[in-house]
Structure 1
């Protein structure tokens, strides 16, 4: 495995692991995710819970495939990740285009409504997964320390992706407070 492959495996695998874990944290967490799918009004009500289960199963499968050292399994994991991410981007684009203000339950309890940034995030991540598939199985000389660094960098980026809505929410909160305080110029 090369440094890029390890880093991308950890980024995509870690992000999908966080996503699946937050939905499987308990019956209430899964129900909140299924309810957010229902609010999107993309599928008939009887299909929402099975679809929610299918999404979580797909996320778990991505994690498992990326954890397997065999290049064929990892390539399959990257392809599945890209397909899921593009499907998510398409669904979010439809929902946002209709002006539906349903929250993004991608990584748990966020109350941030689905929007363009979620579409962009998912398309970019699909491209990263595609790059991961392209570099999987490539030969190269590596050092253990470099592999550890690549893994840590991937895990850090995956974690940042998972909390991006929360981070952006903090800055928006500061902007809102600053706007409410009014202009502060020299007196």
Structure 2
């Protein structure tokens, strides 16, 4: 009887160890998936803020509207600048709202990626045609379009796609306040870099040699 009991206990131990390992692996995967939702939140905050500020800055006063109309006329001369301007602002506002809502966040981020790629195509064509025009993205910079703006848009496209992907993978996950603060803070840092791209580019641009007399 004693031998039988010992053998049974010995055969049970590996099973318990295996169950513990499986539980630990499942818990680790759940933690990783939950962390992805913080990435999605950061991307949503970044994209939503960028599109909201972009839309508001274009229509905040008469001079901003006129400057944006001139930009559109130079970038897309075949299309009426006024109607296209209203369409662009409306799309940007809709994207900002969609990204803010968890139910429509994936669709909003996908639309943001598509809109950014369309904007990038217009900027690229302007560079190909050697058109000197400001980007007009945020309404207060007169810096001509350059490759820096294409890089900035590429970063935003990557952020939108990353946000959509991680939001789908993570699903409905309960977020902790500390993680939310970190995610929003990270989004704010990138947002400042995006909004002040022209200033940062001019700050780190190599100094031009002095003109010879």
Task: Place the TM-score, normalised by the shorter chain, in its bin.
Answer: 0.7 to 0.9
- Alignment partners' CA distance in 1, 2:146 and 2:108: 26
1:154 paired with 2:174, answer no
- Alignment partners' CA distance in 1, 2:128 and 2:145: 10
CA offsets 1:9-65 (integer angstroms, 9 cap, x no match): 01111111221121121122111111111122x2336x1111111111111111101
- TM-score normalised to the size of structure 1? 0.85
- TM-score normalised to the size of structure 2? 0.75
CA contact under 8 A between 2:99 and 2:108: conserved in structure 1? yes
1:51 paired with 2:81, answer no
CA contact under 8 A between 2:46 and 2:191: conserved in structure 1? yes
* SS in structure 1 of the partner of residue 210 of structure 2: helix
Q: Which runs of 4+ in 1 moved over 6 A?
A: none
* SS in structure 2 of the partner of residue 175 of structure 1: coil
Q: 2:64 aligns with which of 24, 29, 38?
A: 29
Mark the structure with the bigger radius of gyration: 2
Q: 2:130 aligns with which of 99, 103, 122?
A: 99
Of the two structures, which has the highest relative contact order with CA contacts closer than 8 Å and spacing of 6 or more? 1
* SS in structure 1 of the partner of residue 120 of structure 2: helix
| Aligned twin of 2:145 | 114
| Structure 2: gaps of 5 or more residues | 1-33
Superposition RMSD in Å = 2.0
Aligned length: 175
CA contact under 8 A between 2:148 and 2:201: conserved in structure 1? no
| Structure 1: gaps of 5 or more residues | 183-187
- Alignment partners' CA distance in 1, 2:203 and 2:179: 33
Q: 1:89 aligns with which of 111, 120, 132?
A: 120
- Alignment partners' CA distance in 2, 1:81 and 1:113: 23
| Aligned twin of 1:20 | 55
CA contact under 8 A between 2:113 and 2:157: conserved in structure 1? yes
- Alignment partners' CA distance in 2, 1:3 and 1:155: 14
